[in-house]
Structure 1
Amino acid sequence: MSLDKIVSISGKPGLYHLRAQTRSGFIAESLTDGKKIPVGLRHNVSVLSEISIYTLDGEEPLREVFAKISEKEDGGKAIDHKVSKDELEAYFFDVLPNFDEDRVYASDIKKVIQWYNLLQANDLIESQTEEVADAAKSDEEE
């Protein structure tokens, strides 16, 4: 499953998988508890495939950040997102050494790690790592 169908909904905890489209929005299923909720046009929805992290060189797509975390953790779970700000930043420096400290806040790092752990718990990270490897391979061939 790609990140194209995984969304974050403002005001709602966790991540959701888009299940069906309705006339006034869509139905989303929580990755945490499996409950389905209707999502209307009044909700702010962010598709994970469209999110990037600011770096000193530009922007790094979230799927590549997830792949780097997965590589660092050998496909396992990352650190707990509830650790201190300093621990979060130190961990993120190991994963993405050139992230822009002025534009990427501790709350952003916390959210990325929380999302990674949620995707990893639902066995969605391995497919993301393969997609990044395939994309890198096709870039090299061109």
Structure 2
Amino acid sequence: MNLRALVSVTGKPGLFKLIGQNKGGFIIETLDSAKLKSIVNLSTTKMATLEDITIYGDEEEIKLIDILENIKAKGEAPDVKASGNDLREFFREVAPGHDESRVYSSDIKKIISWYAIIKELPIFEEEAPEPLT
């Protein structure tokens, strides 16, 4: 799975594709059909690639990429409007060992909504590029 160009931007709902950089910041594009472009100034806004996101685990952090792979293997995810108990039970299956006291229902809903956005994209078939050394 290749999540390198997909980013989450603080204060903006949804996910974005990083498409370039200019002197004002990074150029991002929405992943929906509108394909709206905007510029993110990193001095005022935080941005994180999905590849770098982790969640709290009981023993060690769990990579988002692993959780998304587990959701894909499961076949489907619950609706984000499902009950908190249903969401937590599902998350126990796809993210075993997560720290239930520090991973909130809102975090689970966000991950499930991100999966809904990217599940149809070809990123699940793409190999992640090798890290730069």
Taking structure 1 as the reference length, the TM-score comes to: 0.81
Q: 1:135 aligns to what? A: none
> Any unmatched runs of 5+ in structure 2?
129-133
Task: From the superposition, tell whether residues 126 and 82 of structure 1 become closer, same or farther in structure 2 (CA, over 3 Å).
Answer: farther
Q: 1:95 aligns to what? A: 94
Provide the identity percentage: 40
- AA paired with 1:6? L
- AA paired with 1:50? D
Instruction: Report the alpha carbon displacement of residue 125 of structure 1 after superposing the two structures with TM.
Output: 2.9
Aligned partners of 1:88 and 1:106 also within 8 Å: yes
- AA paired with 1:28? I
The CA RMSD over aligned residues, in Å, is: 1.8
Cα separation, 2, equivalents of 1:117 and 1:50:
19
Cα separation, 2, equivalents of 1:62 and 1:15:
14
Aligned partners of 2:51 and 2:65 also within 8 Å: yes
Matched positions, count? 127
Determine if the alignment matches structure 1 residue 69 to structure 2 residue 76.
no
- AA paired with 1:37? S
Instruction: Report the alpha carbon displacement of residue 12 of structure 1 after superposing the two structures with TM.
Output: 0.9
- AA paired with 1:59? E
Q: 1:4 aligns to what? A: 4
Cα separation, 2, equivalents of 1:97 and 1:21:
37
Give every structure 1 segment of 4 or more consecutive aligned residues whose post-TM-superposition deviation is greater than 3 Å.
none
Aligned partners of 1:116 and 1:125 also within 8 Å: no
Aligned partners of 2:17 and 2:31 also within 8 Å: yes
Taking structure 2 as the reference length, the TM-score comes to: 0.86
Q: 1:34 aligns to what? A: 35
Structure number having the greater helix percentage: 1
Instruction: Report the alpha carbon displacement of residue 122 of structure 1 after superposing the two structures with TM.
Output: 2.7
Alignment of structure 1 residues 1-142 onto 2, 5 Å: 2-32=2-32, 33-41=34-42, 42-73=44-75, 77-127=76-126, 131=128
Cα separation, 2, equivalents of 1:125 and 1:113:
15
